[in-house]
């Protein structure tokens, strides 16, 4: 599905830099940022940039993708627990499927997610790859 | 005051090339209305995806018109795969409030009008488009994240994970409305291709068309009928819309809350449940529901099913008419199929799969990855 330019534009910063929000009352961090804390309902939330390093908590291989990802399948998606304990969902990159293991150390890099045809938007976001030691 | 089920109607689930969303909904509704012998005062229509798959909304009014009931109040309810149970909850409260005496609640979904990719895209609208859909996750793959984590954490084998699909198919053989009326073996499940690893094709409920309808009435109106099934509770609870944000990825808080509230509203202990309809869109959803509700011990549900618990002769018997896996899963209709199947059991009309002396039936209708759960408790009076 095509996304309107404003709809894509307004999420860029959050997706490309992993911006979350931190609650000034209870201290919990959530991704993506929000207006009300889901843990204590405080409205005093500030934006914070999340760490780009984490560990793989679980993963799957998308073989029957949504229409807009048709030409990219199969690909790996996973839940990554970042160094501060916050979970995010993301695609994995630069790795063979047979090497994917729960608990592996990963790092986020900026990558292309998809293109909307010749003149359409190109969607960028963070993907996670094995951490380079 | 307890709402009473006075009629049900179902179409066969399948790929209905010659039927439309509208004609399926009409067929199930007329059957439910005729079997109730009453005229509805209000219509609640459950559907998830008509806006995307048929480019048609305004379903409540559409159906009222088709049924020759122009003028009636009508409303459409959407809560992803839990739409049916949530619509039932709305109708239940309409009757309970005393404002309406007879309500028609119908669920319908037509998924064969579009390509698999388009349907897959539409199903992902159950999650947050901007922060889960963006990353290319499919709805199956989100459930696969839970499936893998469950196997890893509780040391559960692939064979054990497949067992609920095998059980549902075993029961679906005798359901004339079921889409796939044949048994499947564990081996067949594990040899079927992955849809999203580690979920195999035969562990996922099929894309299907169908409609199911229930007529609910107040006790006062139902008094003149031979109707014997009352709704003891209808509850709904929700959880974080993005699955990855859950603090405990292996507990469905929505199922836990909805069930707890249903138990306290109906005062029915869980060991008295005769029939349990689980939302086995994927086997993992069934296991996490059983555990979150406290019906199975944490980490044990798949192992229990694999050791032949929950069959027709057990208590509770699970997915007695084939569940989502064998009957099929026309999204917005599923919750109403569950209610209709419980009704057949509680009125002694379940045919070869009749559970002896069935008195209490419970349905769990789950939307998203345990994101919304509706629990319905039905009782033979
Ligand atoms: Zn807070």
Return the minimum-mean-pLDDT range out of B112-126, B246-260, B335-349.
B112-126
Q: What is the pLDDT of residue A1?
A: 57
Residue A102 sits at φ, ψ, to 5 deg, of -60, 135
Residue B287 · residue B163 · CB < 8 Å = no
- B132 close contact with A: CB closer than 8 A: yes
Widest pairwise Cα distance in chain A:
47
Q: pLDDT at residue B293 above 70? A: yes
Rounded-to-integer distance, Cα B142 and Cα B208, Å: 20
- A102 close contact with B: CB closer than 8 A: yes
Q: Give the active site residues of B.
A: 81, 329
Contact A60 B145 (CB under 8 A): yes
- Cα–ligand 1 centroid distance for A47 (angstroms): 13
Q: pLDDT at residue B229 above 60? A: yes
Please state whether beta strands B194-197 and B199-200 pair in parallel, antiparallel, or not at all (unpaired). Answer: antiparallel
Q: What is the pLDDT of residue A2?
A: 67
Query: DSSP string covering B233-256, please?
Result: EEEEEE--SSGGG-SSTT--HHHH
Domains of chain B: 4-380 (3.40.47.10)
Q: What is the mean pLDDT of residues B98-115?
A: 97
- pTM of the model as a whole: 0.97
- A68 close contact with B: CB closer than 8 A: yes
- Cα–ligand 1 centroid distance for A36 (angstroms): 8
Torsion, Cα of B146, B151, B154, B156 (10° steps): 140
Residue-by-residue pLDDT tens, chain A, 133 positions: 567 787 778 888 888 899 999 999 999 999 999 999 999 999 999 999 999 999 999 999 999 999 899 999 999 999 999 999 999 999 999 999 999 999 999 999 999 999 988 778 899 999 999 998 7
Please state whether beta strands B74-77 and B42-46 pair in parallel, antiparallel, or not at all (unpaired). Answer: parallel
Task: Pick B124's closest partner by Cβ from A38, A66, A87.
Answer: A66
Disruptive mutation site among A1, A26, A70, A77 for chain B (greatest number of B CBs within 10 Å): A77
Contact A66 B136 (CB under 8 A): yes
Rounded-to-integer distance, Cα B185 and Cα B337, Å: 25
Task: Pick B121's closest partner by Cβ from A59, A62, A68.
Answer: A68
Is the interface score ipTM higher than 0.90? yes
Q: What is the mean pLDDT of residues B129-143?
A: 94
Task: Pick A63's closest partner by Cβ from B121, B131, B196.
Answer: B196
Residue B59 · residue B76 · CB < 8 Å = yes
Q: How confident is the model at residue B258 (pLDDT cuts 50, 70, 90)?
A: very high
- Cα–ligand 1 centroid distance for A39 (angstroms): 5
Residue B140 sits at φ, ψ, to 5 deg, of -60, -40
């Amino acid at each position: 599905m095509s996304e309107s330019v404003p709809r894509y534009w307004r999420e860029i910063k959050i997706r490309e830099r992993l911006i979350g929000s931190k609650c000034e009352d209870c201290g919990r961090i959530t991704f993506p940022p929000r207006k009300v804390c889901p843990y204590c309902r405080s409205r005093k939330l500030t934006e914070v940039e999340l760490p780009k390093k984490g560990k793989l908590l679980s993963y799957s291989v998308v073989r029957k993708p949504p229409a807009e990802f048709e030409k990219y399948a199969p690909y790996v998606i996973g839940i990554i627990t970042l160094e501060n304990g916050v979970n995010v969902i993301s695609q994995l990159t630069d790795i063979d499927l047979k090497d994917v293991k729960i608990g592996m150390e990963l790092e986020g890099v900026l990558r292309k997610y998809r293109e909307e045809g010749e003149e359409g938007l190109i969607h960028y976001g963070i993907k996670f790859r094995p951490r380079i030691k | 005051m307890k709402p009473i089920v006075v009629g049900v109607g179902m179409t066969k689930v399948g790929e209905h090339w010659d039927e439309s969303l509208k004609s399926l909904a009409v067929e199930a509704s007329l059957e439910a209305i005729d079997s109730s012998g009453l005229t509805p005062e209000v219509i609640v229509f459950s559907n998830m995806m008509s806006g995307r798959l048929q480019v048609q909304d305004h379903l409540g009014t559409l159906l009222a018109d088709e049924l020759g009931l122009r003028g009636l109040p009508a409303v459409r309810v959407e809560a992803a795969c839990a739409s049916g149970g949530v619509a039932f909850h709305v109708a239940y409260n309409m009757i309970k409030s005393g404002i309406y005496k007879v309500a028609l609640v119908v669920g319908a979904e037509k998924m064969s009008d579009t390509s698999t990719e388009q349907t897959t895209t539409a199903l992902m609208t159950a999650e947050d488009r901007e922060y889960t859909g963006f990353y290319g996750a499919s709805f199956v793959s989100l459930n696969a994240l839970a499936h893998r984590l469950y196997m890893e954490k509780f040391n559960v084998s692939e064979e054990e994970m497949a067992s609920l699909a095998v059980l549902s198919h075993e029961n679906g053989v005798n359901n004339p409305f079921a889409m796939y009326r044949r048994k499947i073996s564990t081996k067949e499940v594990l040899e079927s291709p992955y849809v999203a690893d580690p979920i195999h094709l035969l562990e996922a409920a099929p894309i299907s068309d169908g409609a199911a309808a229930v007529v609910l009435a107040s006790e006062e109106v139902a008094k003149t009928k031979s109707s014997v099934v009352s709704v003891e509770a209808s509850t709904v609870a929700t959880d974080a819309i993005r699955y990855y944000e859950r603090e405990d990825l292996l507990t469905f808080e929505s199922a836990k809350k909805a069930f707890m509230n249903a138990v306290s509203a109906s005062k029915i202990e869980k060991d008295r449940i005769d029939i349990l309809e689980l939302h086995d869109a994927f086997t993992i959803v069934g296991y996490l529901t059983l555990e979150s509700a406290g019906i199975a011990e944490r980490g044990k549900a798949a192992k229990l099913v694999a050791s032949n618990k929950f069959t027709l002769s057990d208590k509770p018997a699970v997915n007695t008419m084939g569940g989502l896996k064998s009957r099929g899963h026309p999204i917005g209709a599923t919750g109403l199929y569950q209610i209709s199947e419980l009704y057949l059991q509680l009125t002694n009309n379940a045919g070869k799969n009749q559970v002896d002396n069935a008195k209490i039936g419970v349905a769990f209708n789950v939307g998203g990855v345990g994101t919304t759960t509706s629990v319905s408790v039905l009782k033979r009076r």
